[in-house]
Structure 1
Amino acid sequence: MDRMIYVAMTGAKQSSFQQATIANNLANANTPGFRAELAAFRAVPATGGTGLPTRAFVLEQTTGADMTPGVVQTTGRSLDIALTTGGFFAVQTPSGEAYTRNGSLEIDPNGILRTRDGQQVQGDGGPISIPSESVISIGHDGTISASPPGDPTQSNQIGRIKLVEPGERQMERGSDGLFRPRDGQPLEADASVKLMQGALESSNVNAVEQLVKMIDYQRHYDMQVRLLQAADQNDRAAAQVLTLS
């Protein structure tokens, strides 16, 4: 009887974890450049005292991210960028260099170019400093030029956004939503990656599909709970029979 309870318990637990993954995807359905998180179940045998596999429990594991490109939408904002090819641009975090496709940028009070989440955008030589009250132009190769207001002829290059193309299988998503190489080493800039100024790439989350999955896993959770209840009823009935005998 305990086998049925154990299997149903792990199934219910991991179904709730899967629902949390889907909820995170839905919460980021409007986050620029977001990549939907993928997850799956797998069976893991549990060995008993004799070393024989007497039970198996269910484990939810993240298999990666859906790297399907999102839709590029024009915003007209000079600090919005969208990658028009594969790849990422680099940002600096407390734990080191990381990579993202969320191109909604801003300039902090110190003139440093950052993402909306506060990470410094990395240039070829480190953080990118923007002169005060300058007009910004960003080229397809990530080159940033600044010119005084009303005088575009005095444009000066002030930096270049570090663009990388590591290959999807070499990257893994962190709990902060940023991507990092599996080997933990910073990536080299890649000139083949291109971007567009004044546009943002939308999230690739399909809200309808995620909602259908949420309903499906909720039903799976309910089924596992019913199995637990059935196992409890069987256990009570068996105990009553033993009492009568």
Structure 2
Amino acid sequence: MDRMIYTAMTGAKHVMEQQANVSHNLANASTTGFRAQLDSFRAVPVVNGGLPTRTYVVDATVGADFTPGPIMQTGRDLDVALQGKGWLAVQLPDGSEAYTRHGSLKLNENGVLQTQSGMNVLGDAGPITVPPDTNISIANDGTISGTSGGRSSTVTVLGRIKLVNPEEANLQRGDDGLFRTRDGNPADADARVRLAGGALENSNVNVVDAMVNMITLSRQFEAHMNLLKNAENNANKASQLLSLT
């Protein structure tokens, strides 16, 4: 009976955590470039001085679904969507490197190319700066070209966005929603990654699947609670039998 209590108790706890992750996915169903969170659970034995007869549930891995989301055309010059696998490299406030697929870019007051959250977009030689009164275009390989607002039609290459494609197993999500390499080393640029200009990638969260998953988790939590009630009833019956003897 105590084994049932351990399994039901820890199972209910992690089902609640999985419900929180599914709720987080649903809340980001319309977030550009969002990657759905995934959970995986496994049973492990309770190690103590006696025999490992009890087991409990642990969260084995919390990963991400790297399936590309649908691409939506916007027509905005500073919107880019990654075609297939790949990431945009951005610079964090501490100078380290992180990766995102949120391709809605902007220029700050100093002409530095940034994400909408204010992170500098990295190029081959660091952050990319655009001169004033310059019309820019972004090629599918990440090259940023600019033409001045005057009569001159000279096209100047201003830089190239650093596009990377590290191993998915080496990526982990941070609390800020950005991805980083597990070993902390910056990923190398990958010339095979391609962009689609004037477009954004939608979230890859399937709302219908997430809602069905939420209903399933609710039923699983109810089943764990019923197991605990059964354990309590069994304990009461056993106490009654012992009192009679």
> TM above 0.5, one fold?
yes
Post-superposition shift, 1:4?
A: 1.8
CA distance in 1, matches of 2:187, 2:12: 40
Aligned residue for 1:234, secondary structure, equals helix
Instruction: Give the TM-score taking structure 1 as reference length.
Output: 0.92
Contact 1:17 1:60 (8 Å CA) reproduced: no
SS of match in other structure, 1:185: coil
Alignment correspondent of 1:109: 109
Tell me how far 1:152 sits from its aligned partner: 7.1
List gaps (5 residues or longer) in structure 2.
none
Distance 1:30 1:169 in 2: 25
Task: State the AA in 2 paired with 1:232.
Answer: E
CA distance in 2, matches of 1:27, 1:129: 34
2: distance between equivalents of 1:22 and 1:203?
14
Partner of 1:64: 63
Taking the aligned partners of 2:73 and 2:155, their CA distance within structure 1 comes to 24
Provide the identity percentage. Answer: 53
Q: Would the aligned equivalents of 2:2 and 2:54 in 1 still touch at CA under 8 Å?
A: no
Deviation, 1:26, is: 1.2
Deviation at 1:181, TM superposition (A): 2.1
Q: Which residue of 2 aligns with 1:27?
A: 27
Q: Distance in 2 between matches of 1:4 and 1:182?
A: 36
SS in 2 for 1:222: helix
The within-5 A match list for 1:134-153 is: 134-149=134-149, 151=151, 153=153
Distance of 1:235 and 1:90 partners within structure 2: 58
Counting only pairs closer than 5 Å after superposition, residues 1-245 of structure 1 correspond to structure 2 as 1-50=1-50, 52-94=51-93, 96-149=96-149, 151=151, 153-245=153-245
Residues in 1 aligned to 2:234 and 2:169: alpha-carbon distance in whole angstroms: 47
Instruction: Give the whole-Å Cα distance in 2 for the aligned partners of 1:31 and 1:148.
Output: 33
Q: Provide the rounded CA distance (Å) in 1 between the counterparts of 2:84 and 2:203.
A: 15
Tell me how far apart the structure 1 counterparts of residues 80 and 152 of structure 2 sit (CA, whole Å).
20
Helix, strand or coil for the counterpart of 2:242? helix
Separation (CA, whole Å) in 2 of partners of 1:42 and 1:186: 32
Question: How many angstroms does 1:47 deviate by?
Answer: 1.6
Whole-Å Cα distance in 1 between the matches of residues 111 and 52 of structure 2? 61
- SS of equivalent residue, structure 2 residue 46: strand
Distance of aligned partners of 1:72 and 1:241 in 2 relative to their CA distance in 1, 3 Å threshold: same
Q: How many residues align?
A: 244
**Deviation larger for 106-115 or 211-220:** 106-115
Q: What is the CA–CA distance in structure 2 between the aligned matches of 1:98 and 1:69, rounded to whole Å?
A: 18
In 1, the alpha carbon distance for the partners of 2:106 and 2:202 equals 18
* Structure 1 contact 87–167 (Cα < 8 Å) conserved: no
How far apart, in 2, do the equivalents of 1:127 and 1:216 lie? 46
Distance between the aligned counterparts of 2:167 and 2:41, measured in 1?
Answer: 25
State the secondary structure of the residue aligned to 2:99.
strand
CA distance in 1, matches of 2:75, 2:123: 23
Shift of 1:98: 0.9
User: What CA deviation, in whole Å up to 9, does each residue of 1:94-117 have, x standing for no partner?
Assistant: 451011111011222232211122
Query: Retained in 2: the 8 A contact 1:48–1:54?
Result: no
Aligned partners of 2:99 and 2:189: how far apart in 1?
A: 12
* SS class of match (1:141): coil
CA contact (8 A) 2:172 2:179 kept: yes
Deviation at 1:137, TM superposition (A): 0.8
Query: 1:113 and 1:55 mapped to 2: Cα distance?
Result: 56
Determine the C-alpha separation between the residues in 1 that align with 2:41 and 2:239.
Answer: 34
How far 1:149 sits from its partner (Å)?
3.3
